[in-house]
Chains A and B, each alone.
Chain A
Amino acid sequence: MGGMREPEHSKIVHLIGGLLVAMTVLVGRPALAHIVDGSAAGGFLGGFAHPLFGLDHVVAMIAVGLWGAFLGQPAIWVLPIAFPLVMAFGGAIAILGVPVPGVEVGIALSAIVLGGMIALAARPPLIGAALIVAAFAIFHGHAHGAELPPGSDAVAFSVGFVMATGMLHLTGIAFGLLTRWPIGRIGVRAAGLAIALVGAAFLSKAV
């Protein structure tokens, strides 16, 4: 695929910077909330840390952003907007006790498939890419949703959890910007291969 045009690159850098500033402001909130509600800060930090401590989740989330950046417009925006919504749906059905078979296998497959797509520089139609990502989002949401704590800090936990997931997407998008340069494209495709290999390792444990 061709590199992104300069205005598009500038726009992406601005957006990522803006969202990081917004996150910094919002991440700062629990320190204030702690004054009036001791559980809110813990809930937020617990939710924020939750997706960061599972390597299978981390690589898959980064892969979503990377693939979006690789695909360019409009996938680069559609995927990070759609993924949290579908993931929340997966989390909700887990919380409500609806079983989804093979969640761990699905998560491992998500890393393999998304990493493989990046490594192979695959460019399916947007609807196909969105459906692939959405299907895997349900597995990721289901796995996390079952661990949401009930009670007063559930809101803070959920906000932290969703923001951390979004940050991983943005990390992938930022890394994906390297595709502007030939050497960067090689690096991004190599990262895709590494993600797929991590997924294969998790799949061997899950099966």
Chain B
Amino acid sequence: MSGLLQALVEGFLNPLLTPAHVLTLLALALYVGQQKGRGAALLVFALALAVGFLAIVLAIETTPARMVLLADAAALGVMVAVVWAPKPLVWLLAATAGAALALDSPPQAVTIAAAYTTIAGTAIGACAMLVVVATVASYANADWQRLGTRIIGSWIAASAILVLAVQLR
């Protein structure tokens, strides 16, 4: 595997294998799938992701991105669990999630080209997971499927709240 391809794969897997990223992406995707017609939140997420990666390219380093991601996961998880959907809040959460995920994914590469490739891989992986899960969740129309979505939302929120408390200790 060439160096750039390896960098792309590593970047792609990063949001899929980092638990805090998975929680946030799952929560946002379940929300978008649950609330039909909220696909714009995905676009907001993608734009914010690009802005976050631009900030990394500009050498912005230490940020509380992990905390923001967990707070996003907690809020979105609660919103999925209680089926509460204020549109402006969702856009705000999608934007902060995108930017925070990017800022929490600095590439560990030895060359500039590999770093950019890793960033591209992360962006593709995060957006792909969002779209796939949101699409699957949008087909959850039976009563038991909608309830299952709400239960998973409560699990995501509970997990994120516990970790936030650990981080704030």
- List A residues at the B interface (Cβ < 8 Å): 11-12, 14-15, 18-19, 22, 29, 32-33, 35-37, 40, 43-44, 77, 80-82, 84-85, 87-89, 91-93, 95-97, 145, 148-150, 154-156, 158-159, 161-163, 166
Contacts and interface: CB of A to CB of B under 8 A. Distances in A.
Given A32-B17, A81-B81, A156-B19, A12 B144 contact: yes
Nearest to A82: B154
B154 A77 contact: no
B152 to A, nearest CB: 7
Interface in B83-126: none
Interface string B13-26: 10001111011000
A145 B161 CA distance: 11
B40 interface: no
Interface of B: 13, 17-20, 22-23, 70, 78, 81, 142-145, 147-148, 150-152, 154-155, 157-169
Contact of B169 (A11, A22, A89, A150): A150
Give the interface SS of chain B, mostly helix, strand, loop or mixed: helix
Nearest to B80: A81
Contact of A11 (B19, B144, B163, B168): B144
Nearest to A43: B19
Contacts of B148: 15, 18-19, 22
A149 B167 CA distance: 10
19 contacts: A36-B13, A36-B17, A43-B19, A84-B158, A85-B78, A85-B81, A91-B161, A91-B165, A95-B166, A96-B165, A148-B166, A149-B166, A154-B162, A154-B167, A159-B19, A161-B159, A161-B162, A162-B159, A166-B155
Given A33-B19, A85-B154, A150 B166 contact: yes
A145 B165 contact: yes
B147 A15 contact: yes
Q: Which of B23, B162, B168 has the most CB of A within 10 A?
A: B162
Contact of A22 (B78, B150, B152): B152
A163 to B, nearest CB: 6
Contacts of A81: 81, 150-151, 154
Nearest to B66: A155
Give the interface SS of chain A, mostly helix, strand, loop or mixed: helix
A18 B169 CA distance: 36
Contact of B155 (A32, A149, A150, A163): A163
A145 B169 CA distance: 12
B13 A154 contact: no
A119 to B, nearest CB: 26
Pairs of residues from A and B, 8 with the lowest C-beta to C-beta distance, nearest first: A92-B165, A88-B158, A15-B144, A84-B158, A155-B19, A95-B165, A88-B161, A158-B159
Nearest to A34: B17
Contacts of A82: 154
A52 B154 CA distance: 20
Contact of A155 (B142, B144, B151, B159): B159
Contact of A154 (B78, B81, B163): B163
